[in-house]
Amino acid sequence: MAVDGWLAVAEAAAELGVSQSRVRQRLADGALTGRKVGAQIIVDQADVRRRAAHRPAAGRPLGPQLAWAALAALSADGSVDVAAHADRNLRHRLNALLRSSPAPDRWRMLLRARARPQRCWAHPAMIAELLGDERVSVGRTRAAGRSGLNISAGDDVVVYAAEHDVPALREHYALEDDPHGPVELRAVPAAAGHFAPHGGAAVPLAAAVFDMLDADDSRLRHAASEWLEQSAARLCELGRQNVQPGAAARAAAG
């Protein structure tokens, strides 16, 4: 049944370039607006077209260095001076990225290379020690909660570690590959540069938010999408501020 301003699920999926099940998931998350008319679910056409305009483009994710620089900016409430970065190419790319203010699904694709996830089994008695290990930082809900989001950590165990420390951590804590294990160990490439895991501290808030966006729990995905969308205008303004004449002059002098 056609309704002006609304699309069937199949039509919305075609416009977004995703499956119908993905559209239904986004409706359940609250990331798309929909309603039920009789036996049919319909999706707000303006909402779909807004998201389609920011659909992830084909291509590779950001390299680890730029990914962590972007995560730092996303986490900083406008306090990051992009022009202070020593690498001129990185400054230019980070400015462009912030000005474009990608949609959550595009950010998710762009930041995939921030770490390599490994799902592991660990003895319950070892988990508390792992969470405080000096070689790791905690992610997802534990980090988000420490940064002020109203999120309960529960049994969530996500830890980030430098890639070169991962073999020793796996041996020390007897971590074994298990797709259903309670621990998600994320190995940060040496090329990341802008982030070094340490002492059970929290990862930057944006990294925790993207961990939530990858979660199976729809409540966490919804909270993450909401935080990112609320940040969009601020991030775009941050990008504009960093290409004003004063910032551009500082960048050129660097």
Cα torsion 26, 101, 194, 201: sign? negative
Average of per-residue pLDDT values in the chain = 79
d(CA 42, CA 23) in angstroms, rounded, equals: 11
> Which is more confident, 136 or 4?
136
**pLDDT per residue over 12-56, tens digit each?**
877 776 778 778 888 887 888 888 888 889 998 888 887 776 554
pLDDT of 243 reads: 43
Q: How far is CA 241 from the centre of its chain?
A: 23
Q: Are 212 and 104 in contact (CB under 8 A)?
A: no
**pLDDT per residue over 115-136, tens digit each?**
999 999 999 999 999 999 999 9
Q: Which DSSP symbol is given to 132?
A: T
Most confident of 64-78, 88-102, 126-140, 202-216: 126-140
d(CA 111, CA 129) in angstroms, rounded, equals: 28
pLDDT of 246 reads: 33
Single pTM value for the model: 0.68
pLDDT surpassing 60 at residue 202: yes
Confidence of residue 240 (pLDDT cuts 50, 70, 90): low
pLDDT surpassing 50 at residue 251: no
DSSP 55-84: PPPSSPPPPHHHHHHHHHHHTTTT---GGG
pLDDT surpassing 80 at residue 188: yes
